[in-house]
Amino acid sequence: MSTTPSDIKATLSFSDGTPAIDLPVYKGSIGPDVVDIRALYGKTGKFTYDPGFMSTASCNSSITYIDGDKGELLYRGYPIEQLAVQCDFLETCYLLLNGELPNAGQKTEFVNLVTRHTMVHEQMQQFFRGFRRDAHPMAVLVGSVGALSAFYHDSLDINDAHHREVSAIRLIAKLPTLVAMAYKYSIGQPFVYPRNDLSYTANFMRMMFAVPAEDYKSNDVMVRALDRIFILHADHEQNASTSTVRLSGSSGANPFACIAAGIACLWGPAHGGANEAALNMLFDIQRQGGAERIGEFITRVKDKNSDVKLMGFGHRVYKNYDPRAKLMRETCHEVLSELGLHDDPLFKLAMALEKIALEDDYFVKRKLYPNVDFYSGIVQRALGIPVSLFTGIFALARTVGWIAQWNEMISDPEQKIGRPRQLFVGSARRDVPPLAARK
């Protein structure tokens, strides 16, 4: 899809004598209009300035839509609340990749395709053994996903639609295998091969928790909970890691390298690393005395000089409750009651913290609500997933969104290499002084 100008124009005038110019305005199907500033530099010699992309649409897209004020998230037009209840993760993957939900036949075909690509090249095992046992799983994933491009040369031509499709399937299929391998390696257990008679999510749980001495029997509530985590994390518009994938891909880099770049960006605590950070924060408060210490902790969060944040709270786009957090909260209840952990002290602490924060003026004024990561860590911990793997689970789920966005970018006739400019504030031209004359 490309952009179509509307009848509306934006007129930009300057107080420095530069003549005013008209800029085209485009309307999306929903959401804010955009002002096309591409001709600005050519006509005026000026750039726009928007660090953090607070007011910048970096592309046009028809995949995911967020209304941050309403707290609405749509994948290809479908509300996340309906997808989370009526669909499974692989149907959601099909939707994100192809634009429509699969019918029964298409679903069977897609599931078969993904299922038959879950094994990784046997030599990847040697590659894994090069990592220290205590390596962070995200470090292992950045390396191993990037390394896939050294193993699958036959799907690297980004200009060939078939190659792009094969790479997409390989990435979606192999990420669970790699995440489970990263876990097994860290605890010194043998890698578990995928099994084709299990669903995508049940197979992942078995690769995580089975050992040669004892098979793993999955529990439907737990599988469904993890599948929901995957659905909720599958895509989220032009966030930092997705923009990283698009920017990396804009130079023509191969899909495995681009997804590795996305994983690196996701790792940060302001983004995907927040689920790990949120749980560690709850552990800290619990260690220091639990619910009684919440007041003291909130005071530190509000102190401008402390750089302590309430992890799992706040979002660049949502200025209302994150719809994913609502669903995750519900899943949290389901999983904890299935496991007989209604009284889980960490969950109670999270609820108490949420209540206090939602009533506190600091958070209310800034429209800071819990985001998906506030609850996803508690669910993952209850499922037996170690804290250091939480962001790896996020990467597994987000891979489909990254690849759908990357594919959309490659197919867009308006696609160009991403090359921002800058407001230069350093020294103007000067001559190099001889060594003896330097201060």
Q: Are 272 and 142 in contact (CB under 8 A)?
A: no
User: Could you give the CA distance from residue 181 to residue 187 in angstroms, rounded to a whole number?
Assistant: 10
323 binds ligand CMC (CB under 6 A): no
Q: Of 110 and 230, which CB lies nearer to ligand CMC in the complex structure?
A: 230
Tell me the C-alpha distance between 68 and 240, whole Å.
16
Residue nearest to ligand CMC (CB): 314
Give residues with Cβ within 8 angstroms of 149, minimum separation 6.
156, 254, 255, 256, 257
- Give the nearest distance from C-beta 84 to ligand CMC in angstroms: 16
**Residue 371 within binding range of ligand CMC, rule CB under 6 A:** yes
- Helices and strands counted in the chain (H then E): 18, 6
Sole binder of ligand CMC in the list 91, 227, 354, 373 (CB under 6 A): 373
Handedness of CA 160, 161, 166, 170 (dihedral sign): positive
Measured torsion, CA atoms of residues 360, 364, 370, 374, in degrees rounded to the nearest 10: -30
Minimum CB separation from ligand CMC for residue 265, in Å?
Answer: 10
In the bound state with ligand CMC, the residue whose beta carbon lies nearer, of 24 and 273, is 273
Q: Which of 117, 315, 326, 398 binds ligand CMC (CB under 6 A)?
A: 315
Pairing assessment for the beta strands 21-26 and 34-35 based on DSSP bridges:
antiparallel
Residue 309 interacting with ligand CMC (CB under 6 A): yes
Catalytic residues: 315, 373
**CA 227 to chain CA centroid, nearest Å:** 16
Which of 146, 194, 272, 377 touches ligand CMC (CB under 6 A)? 272
> What is the residue whose two structure tokens read 């009848």?
7
Measured from the CB of residue 270, what is the shortest distance to ligand CMC in angstroms? Answer: 4
Q: Which is nearer to ligand CMC, 22 or 284 (CB)?
A: 284
Among 76, 164, 236, 398, binds ligand CMC (CB under 6 A): 236
* Residue whose CB is less far from ligand CMC, 232 or 335: 232
Measured from the CB of residue 394, what is the shortest distance to ligand CMC in angstroms? 8
Decide: is 249 part of the binding site for ligand CMC (CB under 6 A): no
Tell me which stretch binds ligand CMC (CB under 6 A): 189-197, 222-230, 267-275, 381-389: 267-275
Please say whether the beta carbons of 96 and 76 come within 8 A. yes
Regarding 91 and contact with ligand CMC (CB under 6 A), the answer is no
313: contact with ligand CMC by CB under 6 A: yes
Of the candidate residues 312, 323, 377, 392, the single one contacting ligand CMC (CB under 6 A): 312
Residues 6+ apart with CB under 8 A from 404: 63, 96, 97, 168, 235
Three-state SS for 328?
helix
Binding segment for ligand CMC (CB under 6 A), chosen from 15-23, 196-204, 247-255, 314-322, is 314-322
Residue with tokens 């205590």: 134
Which tokens belong to 73? 């998230």
**Residue in 38, 43, 217, 316 binding ligand CMC, rule: CB under 6 A:** 316
Give 26's strand partners: 5, 34
When asked if residue 300 is in the footprint of ligand CMC (CB under 6 A), the reply is no
Mapped onto helix, strand or coil, the DSSP state of residue 204 is helix
Interacting residues of 353 by C-beta distance below 8 A, sequence separation 6+: 282, 285, 294, 297, 310
Report the residue from 301, 353, 382, 400 that binds ligand CMC according to the rule CB under 6 A: 301
Q: Residues in the site for ligand CMC, rule: CB under 6 A? A: 236, 239, 270-272, 274, 301, 309-316, 366, 368, 371-373
